[in-house]
Amino acid sequence: MPPAVFAELQHANTPAEIQQWMRTRPAWLVVRKPVTVDLSLNVDAGEREAISLAREIQSRRGVDG
């Protein structure tokens, strides 16, 4: 999960159930910043980071097998 999404899910307006889940989030959930963020995407910061991170992960999988 990119940091912008992590921050969004802890915002005061986020439903209490989500805030609680974030406080006790599972060990498999990792917060990782993308190396580069595609600023040309016309979406909010969380979506921009999520798309950029997904592209990087996909690219690594293609290289790794």
For the chain of 65 residues, list the mean pLDDT of each consecutive stretch of 10: 94 93 93 95 96 90 61
Q: Six-digit token pair at 50?
A: 């999520």
Go through 2-29 and write b for each residue having 16 or more CB atoms within 10 A of its CB, e for each that does not. Answer: bebbbebbeeeeeeeeeeeeeeeeeeee
pLDDT the model gives residue 60: 73
How far apart (Å, rounded) are the C-alpha atoms in residues 41 and 21?
Answer: 29
pTM: 0.78
